C-alpha cells in the first residue's frame, strides 16, 4: 500500500473537513476578547468527545465563551448553577404523577441538551456530582425504570471557583479523572482587558452570533479525527509520559518517587492520544506530531497526578510534577 498517496488523500479530507474551525474562531471573535487558550481547549473537548473542567476566578468569561460556542455550532445549551440544595432530579429529571391519567409521566431534566455548563460544580453535594458524572460516562440517564440516551454530541463543561472554598464539596480524584482535560483560566493581558472594557462598557448593546456549523458537521469531524495518523514513535512517547508518572525511577526521575502519590490512569493515555489528534485536526494536519502531545499534555495530566503530602509541604503542585516529567522524557 502506498502510504504517501493515503496520507495525501487523508490530508485533503482533513483540509476540507476542518475548514469550519476558522469560521468558529471568526464568529467567536465578535464577543470574546483573548481567551484563545480556553476556546482551543473547548474545541478539542468538543471534537475529541471529551468533557472539560475549567478552573478560574469569577468574571473571566467562562460562561459567555461556552454559551457562545453552543450558539455558533447551533446546538442546545443548558447552564446549571450548582448549589448545596440541588437534587439529582433537578439535573436528570423525574417522574410526575398525572392524576387525570392515573399514571406517571417523565419530565426530562436540563441534562438533555448538547452542551451542559455545570457552573461551580464543587458547590453541590456528592449525589448531584455523581449523577452528572455518570451521565458523562454512560451518555445516558435512568429515570424511574427507563433509560434515556442523551443528545449527540454531548459535552459537559464544569467550572470550579478556586476562591471562596467555604461550603464546597471538592470533586473526588476518581471522578475528576472522567474529565478529559482540566484547564486553568487566567486573567487577560492589559491590552485584552482594555479591549474588553471598550467593548462591554456600554448599556443595552448585545452582539448577535450566527451559527456557522451544525451538530452533524461536528459528528462527521469526530469520525475523521479517528483516521488521523499516529506514528508508533509518537504512541510510545505518550506511553513513556504516562508510565513516568507511575514509576518515575524507571525513567531516571528518582526525585519524583517521593512526590507522586498516584500516577496517571489508563484514561490519561487514551485522552492524550485523542486530544492530540483533535489538535492536529484543528491545525488541518493528517498526522500527530510530538508537539501536539506537548501542547495538550498539561491539560490532560494536571488533574490525574496526585502529589504526596511531602510535595504539598514543599509547595510542589501537580503542574510542577507534569513539567518535570515532560522535561525528562525524550521527545521522538
- On the question of a cis peptide bond just before residue 153, with omega within 30 degrees of 0, the verdict is yes
The CA distance from 224 to 237, in Å, is 23
Length of the chain measured in residues = 332
Higher pLDDT, 227 or 6: 227
Specify the residue for cell string 510534577: 321
The answer to whether the CB of 63 falls within 8 A of the CB of 119 is: yes
Distance CA 166, CA 28 (A): 34
The mean pLDDT value for 20-41 works out to 87
DSSP 8-state assignment for residue 58? T
Most distant CA pair in the chain, distance? 72
Q: Is the pLDDT of residue 268 over 70?
A: yes
pLDDT for residue 94 = 84
Do the Cβ atoms of 329 and 245 come closer than 8 Å?
A: no
The distance in angstroms from the start CA to the end CA of the chain is 25
pLDDT at 65 over 90: no
Which pLDDT score, from 0 to 100, does residue 205 have? Answer: 65
Label residue 136 by pLDDT band (50, 70, 90). confident
Helix (H) or strand (E) holding 103: strand 103-108
Residue 74 contacts by C-beta under 8 Å, 6 or more apart in sequence?
211, 213, 214, 215
pTM for the structure as a whole: 0.88
167 compared with 81, residue with greater pLDDT: 81
Provide the 3-class DSSP secondary structure of residue 254.
Answer: helix
* C-beta of residue 45 within 8 angstroms of C-beta of residue 157: yes
Most confident segment among 10-19, 166-175, 176-185: 176-185
d(CA 127, CA 131): 6
- Name the CA dihedral angle for 207, 58, 304, 293, rounded to a multiple of 10 degrees: 40
Q: Which of 44, 31, 132, 32 is nearest to 80 (CA)?
A: 132
Q: Say yes or no to pLDDT of 159 above 70.
A: yes
Checking if the pLDDT of 158 tops 80, the result is yes
pLDDT tens, residue by residue, 210-239: 888 888 888 899 999 999 999 999 999 999
Q: What is the mean pLDDT of residues 36-63?
A: 87
Q: In this structure, are strands 260-262 and 306-307 parallel, antiparallel, or unpaired?
A: antiparallel
pLDDT of residue 273: 96
CA distance 277 to 18: 12
Domains of the chain from N-terminus onward: 21-85+111-205+212-217 (3.40.50.300), 228-328 (1.10.8.80)
Cβ proximity of 115 and 155 under 8 Å: yes
pLDDT (tens digit per residue) in 74-127: 888 889 888 888 888 888 888 887 777 778 788 888 899 888 998 888 888 888
| Cα–Cα separations (whole angstroms), residue 111 to 62, 66, 88, 140, 324 | 19, 15, 10, 10, 39
Residues 281-327 pLDDT 10s = 999 999 999 999 999 999 999 999 989 899 889 998 989 999 999 99
**pLDDT at residue 295, rounded to an integer:** 94
Contacts of 55 by beta carbon, 8 Å cutoff, 6+ apart = 159, 160, 161, 162, 182, 183, 184, 185
Geometric angle at alpha carbon 243, from 241 and 244, rounded to 5°: 65
272 has a pLDDT exceeding 80:
yes
In this prediction, residue 325 carries a pLDDT of: 92
Confidence band of 167 (pLDDT split at 50, 70, 90): low
Amino acid at each position: 500500500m502506498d502510504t504517501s498517496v493515503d496520507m495525501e488523500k487523508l490530508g485533503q479530507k482533513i483540509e476540507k473537513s476542518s475548514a469550519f474551525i476558522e469560521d468558529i474562531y471568526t464568529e467567536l471573535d465578535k464577543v470574546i476578547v483573548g481567551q484563545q487558550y480556553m476556546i482551543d481547549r473547548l474545541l478539542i473537548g468538543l471534537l475529541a468527545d471529551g468533557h472539560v473542567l475549567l478552573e478560574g476566578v469569577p468574571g473571566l468569561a467562562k460562561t459567555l465563551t461556552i454559551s457562545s460556542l453552543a450558539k455558533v455550532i447551533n446546538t442546545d445549551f443548558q447552564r446549571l448553577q450548582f448549589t448545596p440544595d440541588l437534587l439529582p432530579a433537578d439535573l436528570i429529571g423525574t417522574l410526575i404523577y398525572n392524576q387525570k391519567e392515573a399514571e406517571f409521566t417523565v419530565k426530562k431534566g436540563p441534562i438533555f441538551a448538547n452542551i451542559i455548563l455545570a457552573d461551580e460544580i464543587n458547590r453541590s453535594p456528592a449525589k448531584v456530582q455523581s449523577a452528572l458524572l455518570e451521565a458523562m460516562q454512560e451518555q445516558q440517564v435512568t429515570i424511574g425504570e427507563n433509560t434515556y440516551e442523551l443528545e449527540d454530541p454531548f459535552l459537559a463543561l464544569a467550572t470550579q471557583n478556586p476562591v471562596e472554598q467555604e461550603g464546597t464539596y471538592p470533586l473526588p480524584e476518581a471522578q475528576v479523572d472522567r474529565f478529559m482535560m482540566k484547564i486553568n483560566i487566567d486573567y487577560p493581558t492589559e491590552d485584552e482587558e482594555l479591549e474588553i472594557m471598550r467593548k462591554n462598557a456600554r448599556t443595552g448593546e448585545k452582539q448577535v452570533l450566527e451559527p456557522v456549523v451544525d451538530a452533524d458537521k461536528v459528528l462527521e469531524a469526530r469520525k475523521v479525527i479517528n483516521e488521523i495518523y499516529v506514528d508508533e514513535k509518537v504512541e510510545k512517547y505518550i506511553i513513556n509520559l504516562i508510565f513516568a508518572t507511575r514509576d518515575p525511577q524507571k525513567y531516571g526521575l528518582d526525585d519524583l518517587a517521593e512526590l507522586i502519590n498516584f500516577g496517571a490512569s489508563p484514561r490519561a493515555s487514551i485522552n492524550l492520544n485523542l486530544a492530540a489528534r483533535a489538535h492536529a485536526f484543528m491545525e488541518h494536519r493528517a498526522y500527530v506530531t510530538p508537539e501536539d502531545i506537548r501542547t495538550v499534555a498539561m491539560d490532560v495530566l494536571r488533574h490525574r497526578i496526585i502529589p504526596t503530602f511531602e510535595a504539598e509541604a514543599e509547595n510542589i503542585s501537580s503542574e510542577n510534577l507534569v513539567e518535570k516529567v515532560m522535561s525528562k522524557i525524550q521527545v521522538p
